[in-house]
Amino acid sequence: MSDSDDKNVRVAEALREAFAPLVEQLTPEVEPATVFTPSLEDNKDE
């Protein structure tokens, strides 16, 4: 693994570690906010 690959693994791991505790606040009924505001313009144009 190159130094650069190694750095990317470390940066990604740090982000995932920072994110992990946030998941604890999720209860089963919380759904993903996907595309939460449909675009009026997209509807018109497409």
Partner 1 sequence: MTIRELGTLLRNRKISCVELIEQTIAGIKARTESHWFITVTEDQARAEAAERDREFAAGRDRGPFHGIPIALKDLFYTRGIATTAGSLVFRDFVPEYDAPVVERLRAAGAVSVGKTNLHEIALGITSKNPHYGAVVNPLDPNRLPGGSSGGSGAVVAAGLVPMALGSDTGGSIRIPASYCGIAGLKPTYGRVSRRGVLPLAFSLDHVGPLASCVEDCTLTMDVIGGGDFELPQRTEFTGVRVGVPKNFFFERVDPEVARAVENVISEMQRRKATLCEVRVPDLNEANTAAKIVQYSEVAALYVRHTNPALFGRDVWDLIQQGKMIAGHEYVNAQRIRTLFRRDFDALWKSIDVLVTPTTPVTAPEIDKDSIRIGGEEENTRMASTRLVRAINFLGEPALSIPCGKDSSGMPVSVQLIGPPFSEPKLLQIGKTVETFLSA
Interaction site with partner 1 (CB under 8 A): 4-5, 7-9, 11-13, 15-16, 18-19, 22-23, 25-26, 30-42, 44-46
Q: What are phi and psi of 8, to 5 degrees?
A: -65, -40
Q: How far apart are CA 20 and CA 18, in angstroms?
A: 6
Q: How far apart are CA 40 and CA 8, in angstroms?
A: 39
